[in-house]
Each structure stands twice: as C-alpha cells, then as structure tokens.
Amino acid sequence: MKTVWEQTVKDWLWRLLAVFFILSLVFALCYRYSEQAGLHVRQACIAAVGIGGISALISLCLVWRFLYKDKLWAILWVFLTGIIRLLLAFVGVVIIAVFTDIHRGWFFGFAGLFYVVFLLFETWLLVSLLSQRDWASEAAKEQESSEYDIGNTGQFQTGRRSYD
C-alpha cells in the first residue's frame, strides 16, 4: 500500500518526465532543422538555446528560493522573476546579436521560440506548485495571529488609536 507522499512524488515524476520529453523533442527538431539549413543557422540555434536556458534556470532558482515562504513573497517573486527573466533574455540577445558574427534573423527566431517554450514550462511548473499550497489555512493562521493582539490594557486592539 503506497502512502500519499509516494503517490504524489510518482505523479510529479511522470509529469516532469513528460514535460522534459516535450522540451527535448522541440529542441531536437529545431536543432535538426538548423543542421539542415547550414552552419550559421546551427550557431544561431545553439546560442538561442543557451540564452533561453540560462534565463529560465536563473528565474526558477530565484522563485524556488521564495516559493515556500509567506504567500505574499511567493506571489511577488513570481512576478519579479518574470521581469528579471525578460531582462536577462533581452540582455543576452543584445550581447549575442551585437558582438558575434551570427545570422541575426535565425537567431531572433530561435530565441523567440525557445523563450516561449521555456516560459510555458516555467508557467506550468509554478502554477502547479502554487496550486498545491494550502492558501486557506495560511490565510486563517495569518488572520488569527493578527486579530488577537492584546495590549497593556487587556482589551483587544483594533488597529485604530483611541484618544478618549
């Protein structure tokens, strides 16, 4: 008889395996196409995979750091890492496009494709992780801790000052 934890881990492993298979399939098809198109297209494909992967990895590490903290920090960091991820990808694309001798059209196309692919993967992962949190119990604990603040007078404080 399997425990709930074992079943949850097994379900997650299968989901991640399926997503990694789809990501690998997209990358393999794009790389194979770029090999057929020539050396300049293959270089653009590899550079775009590098930029997309690095920006996705950094943003996932930042989100993972704050995912199981307070709910406000979790939601805040999801949005902030979206901005950080976009900035990293933009800076990487500009650096590669300006300072290397690469076919810019193919590079921009592959960079856009891989940015969207990594963004879909990251969005799926974050939505599924955030949906498994017990937001109601966290809100109840937060409400309970802020509601019963007893001051020096022995009466409940409402947050408003009384000057009677």
Confidence of residue 84 (pLDDT cuts 50, 70, 90): confident
Q: CB-hemisphere CA count at 13 Å for 104?
A: 9
* CA separation for the pair 52, 73 (Å, rounded): 25
Of the candidates 44, 56, 35, the one whose C-alpha atom is nearest the C-alpha of residue 111 is: 44
Mean pLDDT of 6-10: 68
Tokens standing for residue 69: 């903290």
How many other β-carbons are positioned within 10 Å of the β-carbon of residue 11?
Answer: 10
Average pLDDT, the chain: 78
Task: Please report which helix (H) or strand (E) contains residue 95, including its range.
Answer: helix 71-99
For residue 156, the cross-strand partners are 150
pTM, rounded to two decimals: 0.69
* pLDDT of 96 higher than 70: yes
Higher pLDDT, 153 or 120: 120
Please identify which residue in the block is written with the tokens 């949850």.
Answer: 8
Mean pLDDT of 126-136: 72
Residue 102, φ and ψ in degrees, nearest 5 = -135, 150
Mean pLDDT of 68-80: 75
* pLDDT of 127 higher than 70: yes
The C-alpha angle 130, 8, 10, rounded to 5 degrees, equals 125
Question: What is the structure's pLDDT at 32?
Answer: 92
Tokens standing for residue 88: 């990293």
Judge contact between 118 and 53, C-beta under 8 A: yes
